[in-house]
Structure 1
Amino acid sequence: MQAPTAPLFTRALLTNDDGIDAPGMAALIEAVTPLAAEVWVVAPEHDQSGVSRAISLHGPLRVLERGPRRFAVTGTPSDCVVIGLSHILKDNPPDIVFSGINRGANIGEEVGYSGTVSAAIMARLCGVPAYAVSQAWRDRRNVRWKTAISGLEAIVRRFGTAPASVLNVNFPDVDPEEVTGVSVTRQAPPGSMVMGVESREDTRGFPYHWLSIRRHPGQGADDTDIGALRRREISVTPIGFDMTDHALLASLRG
């Protein structure tokens, strides 16, 4: 019998944007447990999908203890990282932050407003390396969590951590044995997105509104995150901060 592999980390901080009770958080705990001697969870009390890098500056945050090393925060994913690093684990900082496992891929333009990716970026801003982890799906009722659970440890042991780095990892919507490989990718360029507003009226006659999004991510070149998932590969994309449009920059300078 093969001996268990030693943990890579003394302490790992876990968060997400789907909320502390989301199935993806249970999956992330299972995936990270072999990697860290201590696993701490500081995650939003409720679903915070799509909030990007928002932080709460105009209201208080409450921290609710849910069990040993488990805390829910009445705020955004980025709030949770700050609370985790600067309050709960202030005297015993983690070696690594994991954000996810998100229900749905974070690829292409979706990276920009993903709370999952933004939590990892906040960790990097605070000087701690981080992974953002997402599981693609076609059927919301049949998310293949086992694919991400079974594959994350190998990804982390292969790529490790660079100082203050962020790796955005997306698992394809196939069973673990159907994954065809791993690709280091770039973020796919934006596809098309149509934003809409659906207006309704409540039972007292007052109007209210729902925002709607229709996404068309496009095909994505072979070396992009979209291309990798199309080939049933795991996509690993390094995330940085430079949002400069370099082509337009060159044009304006000219």
Structure 2
Amino acid sequence: MELEKPHPVPEHSLAQPLVQLERVEKKYANHTIAVQDANLLVREGEFISFVGPSGCGKSTILRMIAGLSEPSGGNLQVMGGTADSARKSGRLAYVFQDATLMPWCNVLDNVALPLELKGISRKQRTEESLRVLELVGLKDYSKSLPRELSGGMKMRVSIARSLVAQPDLLLMDEPFGALDELTRQTLQQELLGIWSANPRMTVLFVTHNVFEAVYLSTRIAVMTPRPGRIVGQIDVHTSVPRQEDFRTSPQFNELASRVNAVLRH
């Protein structure tokens, strides 16, 4: 397999973590403990996937980092401050499981929404939106309405919308879970290409799919059943962008086996 240049991690990122969880807990009003004693350090430029059984708190952790849910205990810092301040800064973006597009707006206007909310001129937000639509292969569909798109195309629009403001931190909650396998692999490849072209961008990705986590990540955080704790972190020392034959390589199978072993035990 031909080796590519590894995705660089900026040297200055070694001094200051982008995201830090120290004994973070999330307890709901009905006394359900979704996350308990979660510890994680995220550096700039990493691609970290969370895997674990259903209901283990993967999405809960992502929502707390995004400032959409408050921790019940522990310490959570995002970009040197609170998760809420990071969310309000506009430096992070969130991609949900569903595309959550505005059905009455065309593709271009859906993608341009974050820039419109920032008060960016129409000319500039159109230029930036077309740029990211070209990245995800949808520039020719800029005038289409969401109902005219396939599921995979809608998710591409959602990803483009998250990228248009050039976030430092991209949070993705099972964005490919409802897609067929071929579309899923295509979007995995596109996502890796976009991330590898932006070495300062950090991605936190939730998935149930071990093979998806191995293919995409520089590190995989494995969680226990509820109450969710991070019990294993597995580094993926493979250069990016990754070639398709990585999926059938001995290294890929060995990494997937290691992740499954932690999940089982």
TM range, normalised to the smaller chain?
0.3 to 0.5
- Give the TM-score normalised by the residue count of structure 1: 0.36
1 or 2, which has the higher helix percentage? 2
- Give the TM-score normalised by the residue count of structure 2: 0.35
Higher RCO structure, 1 or 2 (CA under 8 Å, sep 6+): 2
1 or 2, which has the higher strand percentage? 1
